[in-house]
Amino acid sequence: MRAPALSSSGIAVHRPLTARLRPHGVLGAWQERNAEATIPHCVARLEDSGVIDNFRRLVGESGAPHRGFVFADSDLYKVIEAVAWEIGRSGTRRWDGWLDEVIGLVARVQDPTGYVMTWIQGVHPEKRFAELEWTHEMYVLGHMVQAAVALDRASGRDDLLAIARRFVDLLHRRFGPGREEGICGHPEIETALVELHRHTGEERHLALARRMIDLRGHGLLKTGHLGARYFQDHLPVREARTAVGHAVRQLYLNAGVTDLYLETGESELLEAQRAQWDNAHLRKMYITGAYGSRHRDEAFGDDYELPSDRAYAETCASIADLQWSWRMLLATGGSRYADVMEREIHNAIAASTDETGTRFFYSNPLQLRPDRYDEENAPRERAPWYACACCPPNIARLVAQLDTYVATADAHDVSVHIYADADIDLPPHLGDGVLEIRTGYPAGGTVDVAVRGRIEPGVRVALRVPEWSRGTVPADEDGYLRIDPGPGFRLDLDVSPRWTRAHPRVDALRGCVALERGPVVYCVEQADLPEDVAVDDLVIDLSVPPKADGATLHLTAHVTEQVTEQAADQATGQATGQEPALYRPAGPAARAGTTSTLAVPAIPFATWGNRAPGAMRVWMPATTP
């Protein structure tokens, strides 16, 4: 079956099913754009950025110097993985020649020991396995393994898998049980080793993943000024109950730990992961499904530290969390995990790519100030590529596999977790037919469900009822409505616009509200306002309900006009205008200025930045209703 996270044990509550997303639906159209625009764009940028040339120079086919970061090879493997899932989805042969070339290059660069990593081999051979906190060797190998498994699973092509297995064999010889203790500064190898175990049936890969997870938190890494928390090396995995440090590293590690639980059933692992999941999602998640509030170390902040304008909110962090939440869903069931995945798909991840599929955000702030300066990985506008290009290929590989996150099966039922226009083949033990999902979601809340063909007697379909629709649609304790599909069933979810407030401890958001409609978060963009009205001068009037016009919602806002301080010129005694005071007295008589009222368009956060660079806000100051 072509899907990631295919547990080989009987521990998982759910097993993934592959859906066929229809091209006119939101997610199906995204996959089509990914295939036609994003993947080709990534392939071209691998050439422009020097990633492919780094391999050529090691076999004498290029005289150019090495370009890119130490981990640049991983960009190639993520794009190969995207191509693999696209082959499995559509059967395309478009990339056969390219795969022949790049996999052939990797094979020729691989040395007799199995090692292959262009930065080490071509720039710093003395650093081979010598600085594991920074060299990313196991991280790069992890992406190679994931690409290789995907390619074999989706298309039956195993040449990259043979290369990856030789490199993994080297890892066993160097770091296996009874040998040198070593872990990677950037987690990723753990989940890859578990998936290799699932794909090959070799228990030693699972044992190596367990060993690396067991060794974390024992001070093996030279953490330097960033500290052990940055690397998740501050506590053993089974004792770590909070999400800390570099957000992507933490979330990739958690995916691997949950994968290990799914194969071993060790309750202590699951207990730790549940605690971490609660901490990350109840205290450290942005409303868009983004993570990481600090730029300096791309890290989680303290509990409730969620500034909108300084949100780092790296695209890769949302992708990593989706992968982790999916594994938690497979492990335990429960709609809370799919609710978060849906939030990430329709907001943080969707916003990271423009409408052409060829320009990307690395950082995804929830507020852009009008005078915000560009930072390398947090520019004012989406960029076609980055020096650290981890995000665009990650987007490509995720979107190519979106169809594998829609539905699952257990021993008795089919569960639908992510709503999309799709056809889902029933697994043989539940019938010989197709579950048809027809919906315009998320623009509308109507979901039509029908079975074409034979379904076994007593088999039910479990439909997720999102948390925001629980008041109008009944659901079981796990958040799902279970139905006997029969000739058809219609689920009506309430996608009325709603105002949302943050937890009172989120200091950055006191007095502010955000607008949501179904799973979609909205924002106000400067491009929709008159020239003389600034986004930052708007105060939402909560007494007037939003009015819908297609995907756009119209709000009523008061425009606060800046007060000009009146000061007397010492020579003439005449009043002169000055910059408004940064701070002013509080009290009933103190006011920021006169106000006027304006109808303000709000657009889905995922669509902002497609017209012109300018200010934007998700969280808006509001009047007390």
Token digits of residue 262: 């799914």
Q: What is the 3-state secondary structure (H, E, C) of 391-418?
A: HHHHHHHHHHCHHHHCEEECCCEEEECC
What's the rounded Cα separation, in Å, for the pair 537 and 596?
A: 11
DSSP 3-state of 219: coil
Angle at 22 between CA 18 and CA 26, to 5 degrees: 105
Return the structure tokens found at 24.
């006119």
Among residues 402, 397, 438, 343, the alpha carbon closest in space to that of 28 is found at 402
460-464 and 413-416: which strand pairing? parallel
**Which secondary structure element, helix H or strand E, spans residue 214, and what is its range?**
helix 203-215
Burial class of residue 390, CB neighbours in 10 A (0-12, 13-18, 19+) = buried
Question: Does residue 548 sit in helix, strand or coil?
Answer: strand
Among 384, 340, 374, smallest CA distance to 521 is for 340
**81: Cβ contacts below 8 Å, ≥ 6 apart:** 143, 146, 147, 150, 151, 397, 400
Catalytic-role residue among 81, 86, 298, 516: 298
Point out the catalytic residue in the list 390, 391, 512, 523: 390
Residue 499 carries which DSSP code? E
Neighbours of 267 (CB within 10 A): 9
Can 516 be counted among the known catalytic residues? no
Contact 386, 362 (CB under 8 A): yes
> Which residue's structure tokens are 């948390």?
467
Burial class (CB in 10 A: 0-12, 13-18, 19+), 98: middle
Told to judge if 390 belongs to the known catalytic residues of this protein, a careful annotator would answer yes
Whether the bond into 601 is cis, omega within 30 of 0: no
Point out the residues that are catalytic. Answer: 298, 390
